[in-house]
Amino acid sequence: MSALDTSPPGRSAIKRITVMQGEALASKDPQVELSTVLGSCVATCLFDPIAKVGGMNHFLLAEPPAHLSHLEFDEHYGLFLMELLINEMLKLGAAKSRLKARLYGGANMNSGLAQIGSANAAFARRFLQQEGIVQAFEDLEGQSARRVHFQPATGRVRCSTTAQAAIPKQKPVAPPQSDVGQVELF
Amino acid sequence: MTKGHEMTQSTRILTVDDSASMRALLLNALQQEGFDVEQAVDGQDALDWLASNEVDVIITDINMPRLDGFGLIERLRESARHADRPILVLSTESSDEKKRRARDAGATGWIVKPFNADKLAAAVRRIAH
């Protein structure tokens, strides 16, 4: 679930919503700010400048099982979260053809064979290219954790590096198992 | 009976999805299961293609430009040629309201993304005429 933090009191209150791994949220509310902390995960910030609708997802591709190449990350889940984000934005009046994307995260925090961060980053770039979505900016890979704040109604993003300790322990989060691939014949 | 190539080889599926990434994933998964796969980029593209082609099963997304999945199903059910054609919806949506709308429009079934290739193939085999 998302954490909703309305602060500070007084002034024009900003509604800060934390986008957790496995989530995709969209809004056109000028008071909403979507925030997340990324290690090897990637966050996609999409913005429609005409409809003034923005949204963010936060995903981590599952590592391949031992019998597969370390390069064969499972992209089903990343694709699901991309589509979920786009659909949420369409519901608020966005048009896919107008979307501009900014990508963040994908750090390789630990030196290992599976460069998880790079795999997440590569998937995100490839998705945007295949879908014809303009990639306006990226701050991807490297070795630093990142904190991202996104104002969905304006498309403004602030990104800063942060201590690795700020990153929640993360494993790929699957959608509710009761629904995954569920077949219902009428 | 085990999963037979003879059983599925002649089953022709039309997938309808505006996401190129999803089309690629579906194409790969369904071809590996032995199906013949055709693809359309939205409901209107599917209608245009079906005007002069035949398929055994249609798998359609819901949220698409020009003509969405609900509209596609409704338009197909108006035609005697497609009145009984099995149509599966494949969507990230899973609300009862959306499912009810699809069923009322004439959909045969609903599958929630991300799909499981085995379950999808089994559903296609079950409903293919």
SS3 B72: helix
B109/chain A closest Cα distance in angstroms: 4
pLDDT tens per residue across span A91-136:
999 999 999 999 999 999 876 656 889 999 999 999 999 999 999 9
pLDDT tens per residue across span A51-107:
999 999 999 987 666 555 555 567 888 999 999 999 999 999 999 999 999 999 999
Q: What are phi and psi of B7, to 5 degrees?
A: -65, -40
Query: Would you call A181 an interface residue with chain B, using a CB distance cutoff of 8 Å?
Result: yes
DSSP A170: -
Which residues make Cβ contacts (< 8 Å) with residue A53, sequence separation at least 6? A26, A27, A28, A47, A89, A92, A93, A94, A152, A153
Angle between helices B117-127 and B20-32 (to 10 degrees): 70
Query: Would you call B128 an interface residue with chain A, using a CB distance cutoff of 8 Å?
Result: no
Domain locations in chain B as residue ranges: 5-123
CA–CA dist A110, A7 (Å, integer): 35
Q: Which helix (H) or strand (E) holds B58?
A: strand B57-60
Domains and CATH numbers, chain A: 3-166 (3.30.1330.200)
Residue A181 pLDDT exceeds 80? no
Amino acid at residue number B85:
R
**Where are the strands (E) in chain A, listed by range?**
3-7, 14-18, 23-27, 32-38, 42-48, 53-59, 100-105, 134-140, 145-151, 156-162, 183-185
Residue A25 pLDDT exceeds 90? yes
Summary mean pLDDT of chain A: 85
pLDDT band at A2 (very low <50, low <70, confident <90, very high): very low
Residues of A in contact with B112 (CB under 8 A): 179-182
CA–CA dist B102, B89 (Å, integer): 8
Residues of B in contact with A179 (CB under 8 A): 94, 112
Q: Are B13 and B56 in contact (CB under 8 A)?
A: yes
DSSP B40: E
Percent of chain A residues past pLDDT 90, beyond the cut? 66
CATH tag, B5-123: 3.40.50.2300
Averaged over A133-153, what is the pLDDT? 96
Catalytic residue numbers of A read: 41
Reply yes or no: is the peptide bond before residue B65 cis, omega within 30 of 0: no
ipTM of the complex model: 0.81
DSSP A142: S
Pick from A75, A83, A182: CB nearest B92: A83
Q: What is the pLDDT of residue A58?
A: 97
- Long-range contacts of range B5-11, CB-CB < 8 Å, 24 or more positions apart? B5/B34, B7/B34, B7/B125, B8/B33, B8/B34, B8/B35, B8/B121, B8/B125, B9/B34, B9/B35, B9/B36, B10/B36, B11/B35, B11/B36, B11/B56, B11/B57, B11/B124, B11/B125, B11/B128
Q: Are B39 and B27 in contact (CB under 8 A)?
A: yes
